[in-house]
Amino acid sequence: MSDVRFDNRVAIVTGSGNGLGKTYALELAKRGAKVVVNDLGGSAFGGGSDKAAADVVVDEIKAAGGEAAANYDSVIDGDKIIQTAMDNFGRVDIVINNAGILRDKTFHKMTDEDWDLIYDVHVRGAYKVTHAAWPYMRENGYGRLIFTASAAGIYGNFGQTNYAMAKLGLHGMSQTLALEGRSKNIMVNTIAPIAGSRLTETVMPKKIVDALRPEFVMPLVLKLCDENSDETGGLFEVGAGFIAKVRWERTKGKCFSIKNNFTPEDINAAWDEITDFSESTHPANIADSNRDIMRNLKA
């Protein structure tokens, strides 16, 4: 197995002033990448800004002999972040959409501001950064993109309707970009990480936060950004040294004859069969998903 190297590659890591993003930026630079360290430097809840967050990481990379440039824009202005990469390094090869905040509240207490801010930073921000990078990647016939979801999005989590909406939305975006990017050698994957950071220190005991080092997430992210990796469209849960791929599972299901009307009572009678996972399948694309529907239409 050859070493995973990023020489002559230009990587943009959003929100890399702290936590997970910082570990990606430092290791990418150590392995030869020129890195744009983007960070707004605000609070974990989305207020304020501070250039120091990005500057500290850029200084650390440069002190170790690496190449890096700081960008202080919000991901909502994603085009400016990509412009920093073009101005400083003239290319875009890798984008890690990592910036994030929390506005946890139970749904009945959720305000429009809580909802919109989470959407803006996580979904619109990742869209704006990726949309600005995409033409360069297509032109170069090369790209590696990471989106950052969360177990909260995959499984739901009490008090996180806004965050869960955004995080699973990113996987939808990522899966579709994987389809659109494949022919141009643009590989797109999503991670659902768990790591100790200022986002998790509000909800986990300090001992666990300290033990869940972001460095345990970083190797998977770099593997997925490797030029030798052809993994695309994947969703991975990762943390504390555990790495697993997630896929959809569907029950065998039941086909009702559409020659006659079928009723809610018919569905009640067949409910055990509809929800029985003993003969489940794993649709991996729209064609798989539609096959039984089309077959029933023709029956």
Least separation, in Å, of the C-beta of 116 and ligand NAD?
Answer: 13
| Number of residues located near ligand NAD, criterion CB under 6 A | 31
Q: Is 84 in the site for ligand NAD (CB under 6 A)?
A: no
Q: Nearer Cβ to ligand NAD, position 137 or 149? A: 149
Q: Is 154 in the site for ligand NAD (CB under 6 A)?
A: no
Give the C-alpha separation, 31 to 213, whole Å: 20
CB count within 10 Å of CB 51 equals 14
- Selected binder of ligand NAD within 83, 157, 200, 281 (CB under 6 A): 200
Which DSSP letter does residue 257 get?
A: P
Contact assessment for residue 65 and residue 30, using Cβ atoms and an 8 Å cutoff: no
Q: Which of 24, 72, 136, 163 is catalytic?
A: 163
CB count within 10 Å of CB 181 equals 21
Q: What is the DSSP string of 132-200?
A: HHHHHHHHHT-EEEEEE--HHHHH--TTBHHHHHHHHHHHHHHHHHHHHHGGGTEEEEEEEE---STTT
Q: Is 163 a catalytic residue?
A: yes
Q: Is 19 in the site for ligand NAD (CB under 6 A)?
A: yes
Q: Is 199 in the site for ligand NAD (CB under 6 A)?
A: yes
Give the C-alpha separation, 113 to 208, whole Å: 31
Give the C-alpha separation, 51 to 105, whole Å: 29
CA dihedral 208, 213, 217, 219 (to 10 degrees): -150
Least separation, in Å, of the C-beta of 82 and ligand NAD?
Answer: 13
- Selected binder of ligand NAD within 25, 36, 37, 99 (CB under 6 A): 99
Q: Is 160 in the site for ligand NAD (CB under 6 A)?
A: no
Q: Is 44 in the site for ligand NAD (CB under 6 A)?
A: yes
Q: Is 170 in the site for ligand NAD (CB under 6 A)?
A: no
Least separation, in Å, of the C-beta of 38 and ligand NAD?
Answer: 6
Footprint of ligand NAD (CB under 6 A): 14-15, 17-21, 38-42, 44, 53, 74-75, 98-101, 121, 125, 148, 150, 193-195, 197-200
